[in-house]
Amino acid sequence: MTTVWNWYVIALILFNLLGITWLLWWTAKRRPGDPKPEDTSHYWDGDITEFNKPMPRWWINGFYIAIVFAFAYLFWFGGWGTYDGFGKWSSKAEHDKEAALATQQLEKTFAPYKGQAIDVLAGNAKAVALGKSIFANNCATCHGSSAKGAVGYPNLTDTIWHWGSSPEQILHTVKDGREGVMPPWGTVLEGMGGPDAVDYVIAYVHQLGEKDGANRTDFAAAQGKKLYEGVCVACHGKEGKGDPKVGAPDLTDSYWLYGDSREALHETIAKGRHGVMPAWGTVLGDTRSRLVAAYVWSLSHSTKSGNLNAQ
Ligand code: HEC
Ligand code: HEC
């Protein structure tokens, strides 16, 4: 607040409070020459008289007390412009105090799970329930409330993993995030194999998923195989099984993060893809990251207490 507004606010408050005080004093006052309360000379129906009695003293004093209270209140809580008040109360301090209390309570809730292994937590129904609610609050926006994902957002309930499904790998994914970089290969492939090169590679990718596909020889797939072995093997491997170290998917399974129609594959291969899983370590802290990782892990791994996802 600038100085001008500061004084403007103070002046408004003072004007109001002093105005009320004056009004109270002025209207309650009896002046010399005022008729007695009984002498208003107003009569109705012959004998009904109107008096003009002052307000009772206790009533007037009640008003004065309220005015004094208002002054004290504004001084205590800092109601005068930018003045902080005797009590040094502020909504921010009150919020901080409540937030600290809430954090303390949260910490108490999460304390029993501190530093525990993901697979151990996944066997604890209470831990998994906590993980599930952390998931609903932070992860469901992208992965869906049932964790089944969508195009570009992986299904976390199946057995197919781009970054690995061991407890450590999942915890790493959650805490540090992952970035899947599939570079655009359109120009490179066309330079190597002509205008249909991308389609040749698609034919080969389709064939990879079939039994003994890598060794079959129809024309397009055979062209594609050469291109694949020149470019794609580096990340997806000779057999197309992928590489969890760089998040390169297995191209022989039936799961497609970005779809397996010719158009989707063409887009993926020619233009590339760049899926980003944000890092949650600093947002959630270690224990909550563990709990949510345990929930995710439990979706595809049965634990001693059964598959908790079935609840
Ligand atoms: C530098 C490593 C690298 C190379 C080389 C590479 N890819 Fe990829 N590829 C990836 C990564 C990483 C992803 C996952 C992208 C993501 O998660 O957003 C991917 C994704 C894909 C997908 C999508 C799979 C799905 O589930 O939707 C296809 C198809 C694919 N690559 C095919 C190819 C083909 C064909 C080539 C060769 C022309 C190739 N890739 C070369 C790293 C690579
Ligand atoms: C902003 C969207 C977004 C949010 C929010 C998000 N994720 Fe992800 N997540 C992704 C994307 C995109 C990928 C795929 C990255 C790639 O292309 O490889 C992914 C990948 C993953 C994977 C790896 C899957 C695999 O196949 O290896 C796991 C596990 C995962 N997320 C768990 C979580 C958890 C747990 C949370 C909440 C704490 C979360 N995600 C929140 C977008 C998100």
What are the angstrom distances between the C-alpha of 204 and each of 112, 184, 195, 231, 253? 51, 18, 16, 13, 14
CA-234 nearest atom, ligand 1: 5
Q: What is the mean pLDDT of the chain?
A: 91
- Rounded Cα gap, residues 236 and 244, in angstroms: 9
- Rounded Cα gap, residues 237 and 254, in angstroms: 17
Mean pLDDT of 280-293: 95
pLDDT for position 153 = 97
Comparing 34-38, 127-131, 226-230, 250-254, the range with the smallest average pLDDT is 34-38
pLDDT for position 303 = 66
pLDDT for position 215 = 67
Q: How confident is the model at residue 272 (pLDDT cuts 50, 70, 90)?
A: very high
Q: Whose CA is nearest to atom 11 of ligand 2?
A: 277
CA-152 nearest atom, ligand 1: 18
pLDDT for position 307 = 46
Q: Whose CA is nearest to atom 1 of ligand 2?
A: 142
pLDDT at 305 exceeding the cut of 60: no
CA-141 nearest atom, ligand 2: 5
pLDDT at 311 exceeding the cut of 60: no
Cβ(161) – ligand 2 distance below 6 Å: yes
Tell me the two tokens of residue 146.
């049932």
Comparing 24-38, 124-138, 149-163, 222-236, the range with the smallest average pLDDT is 24-38
pLDDT for position 304 = 52
Sign of torsion, CA 299 304 306 311? negative
pLDDT at 32 exceeding the cut of 90: no
Q: How far away, in angstroms, is 156 Cα from ligand 2 center?
A: 8
pLDDT at 306 exceeding the cut of 50: no
Tell me the two tokens of residue 33.
């020459």
Which one has a higher pLDDT value, 174 or 2? Answer: 174
- Rounded Cα gap, residues 52 and 74, in angstroms: 36
- Rounded Cα gap, residues 160 and 164, in angstroms: 8
Q: Which tens digit of pLDDT belongs to each residue from 159-176?
A: 999 999 999 999 999 999
What are the angstrom distances between the C-alpha of 284 and each of 90, 107, 264, 279, 280? 28, 12, 35, 10, 6
Q: How confident is the model at residue 66 (pLDDT cuts 50, 70, 90)?
A: very high
Mean pLDDT of 139-145: 96
pLDDT for position 47 = 84
Mean pLDDT of 26-50: 83
For residues 78 and 6, the answer to whether their CB atoms sit within 8 Å is no
In 3D space, the residue among 58, 66, 64, 131 whose CA is nearest the CA of residue 292 turns out to be 131
- Rounded Cα gap, residues 262 and 1, in angstroms: 62
Residues ≥6 apart with Cβ < 8 Å to 259: 151, 265
Q: How far away, in angstroms, is 210 Cα from ligand 2 center?
A: 28
Q: Which tens digit of pLDDT belongs to each residue from 183-239?
A: 999 999 999 999 999 999 999 999 988 876 666 678 899 999 999 999 999 999 999
CA-204 nearest atom, ligand 1: 35
pLDDT at 141 exceeding the cut of 60: yes
pLDDT at 308 exceeding the cut of 70: no
Q: Pocket of ligand 1, candidates 236, 238, 255: which has the most ligand atoms within 8 Å of its Cβ, to mutate?
A: 236
Sign of torsion, CA 167 160 239 201? negative
pLDDT for position 35 = 79
Mean pLDDT of 177-187: 96
pLDDT at 132 exceeding the cut of 90: yes
Burial of 236 (0-12, 13-18, 19+ CB in 10 A): buried
For residues 72 and 85, the answer to whether their CB atoms sit within 8 Å is no
